[in-house]
Structure 1
Amino acid sequence: MIRPGLCSVTFRGLDIEDVVALADHAGLACIEWAGDAHVPPGDAVAAARARELTESAGLSVASYGSYLRFEGADDENRTEGDAVIASARMLGAPRIRVWAGSRGSAEVAEPHRARLVGRVQDFADRAAEHGLEVGLEFHGGTLTDEIGSTLRLLEEVGRGTVLSYWQPHQDMPAADAVGTLREVFTVLAAEGSDRDALLEFIPGDDPALLSREAQTLRSLIAAGEDAAR
């Protein structure tokens, strides 16, 4: 089953209660709560409130959208990671979104890549102690900026609890992006695993458009299921 959901960062300026109300009204099933907006790492009060309001509306917490990049000094990186794990646990999130560094794969020397791999492994092991998966953001300016480097990174990390998010590249023409999305939903429907498909940003950041965008997402999911039959 593919659940349609929302990344709360889409409405970073709105209150947690308003984000939940919008997602519920749009008929979405789950929310990824943003670590740079609604649920800062280590903020137990915000995490508890987001979880309570989400579940009270009959929705699920899809994930914790952290901005952990595994950079900086070892102690600082580990401290930030601990705060991220604590917030994810308080949210009741099944997974944590993280970023594979701050530079594109072609720009990263092997020693730095190895250090990032080691930090991802350490973080994933600590998260796994609490039943948490780790999802790598698929994004430019990181080690997951293209498919080859992403697959290599997953192999280097070597943890079954570490997977990757996916989205069309940020500079992809709209028609190509939609076509690629249709292909992806067909593949996912045929594969059959439970997944979350999350809306992140909408035209003009206009809350009034969320219901329309949610319906488009549900249509893409349904079309993929039909094509996979």
Structure 2
Amino acid sequence: MSTEPNRHGMKFSICSTGLKGMILKEVLEAANRSQLDGVELWDGHIESYLDDGGTTYELGRYLWEHRLRVPAISTYASFSKSEVAWELDLQQVKRAAHWAKELGCPRIRTFAGHLPSREATPSVWDSVVSGLSAASAACAEHGVRLAIEMHNDTLADTEDTIAKLLDRGGPELELIYDGFNFFVDHQDPLPVLDRFYRRISHVHFKNYRWNHQDWAQSVPVPVLQGDSDHRAILRKLAELEYDGFLSFEYFGDRVLELTQLSLIEVTRELSIGGDDRP
């Protein structure tokens, strides 16, 4: 397998959220075998590693020795479920921001609520916006940024609601782009990428043969073989000269296989584009 750098400068990682059944060392070893540039770390993996006696210094040294970077630490904070959960979400982000500083990670992933925007009441909006503001300030204290994942069934599930979140949340907030999350809601992901590109600091990539009537029957496939046109998204990212991380985000029994196949497809596609061949 060839994963030689392409002229577009994109870097590739795996989301460890899809590998919760593995310990962190196994995840990192798998990423290294797959010749990835980094690992987007689920905060639960870090917590377990530290509970088992590891330190952030040791983890950082392992990452450095194996030339693996951490483009994001992923939490499941949402700031919308209850007052108690709101406080726990904020503490979760604060803890992750501390780890991010220790590991040289630039951002923390959060969700903007846990309900579709069409169902959100003004009080839910207020709760989420206040949570994002508090979490963003906590991240800034550690020199990192807070990034909202664009995701269906959250307040960041349409162009207009994303714009509203950014307007109310302030200029410090970043976005994590996942085109597939718009596809499942029958939305074109490319206009979203165009409109918010300046705020997008990180990208998720996955694809499925998708069953819109019964999502559970959908089948994950390598990113350029599914029903969402990820080839068009990849080409748009290259056109925009995106040079950040692209994290493959799969769940289930084939995470590592699908990540490796997707990496081959994406690097090949970028190489073809770099040679200006059709």
What TM-score, normalized to structure 1? 0.84
Q: Which residue does the alignment assign to 2:216?
A: none
Identity of aligned residues (%): 21
Alignment of 1:10-159 (within 5 A): 10-36=18-44, 38-40=45-47, 43=50, 45=54, 47-71=56-80, 72-73=82-83, 75-159=87-171
CA distance in 2, matches of 1:148, 1:14: 38
What secondary structure does 2:227 align onto? helix
Q: Which runs of 5+ in 2 are unaligned?
A: 1-8, 187-207, 210-225
Deviation at 1:209, TM superposition (A): 4.9
CA distance in 1, matches of 2:276, 2:227: 18
- Asked if the contact 2:18/2:255 (under 8 Å) is kept, the reply is no
Does 1:197 find its partner at 2:246?
yes
Deviation at 1:125, TM superposition (A): 2.0
CA distance in 2, matches of 1:108, 1:92: 35
Q: Which residue does the alignment assign to 1:185?
A: 234
Does 1:6 find its partner at 2:14?
yes
Q: Which runs of 5+ in 1 are unaligned?
A: none
CA distance in 2, matches of 1:114, 1:227: 48
Alignment RMSD: 2.9
What TM-score, normalized to structure 2? 0.70
C-alpha change, 1:10 and 1:69, in structure 2 (3 Å) is same
What secondary structure does 2:246 align onto? strand
Instruction: Give the count of matched residue pairs.
Output: 226
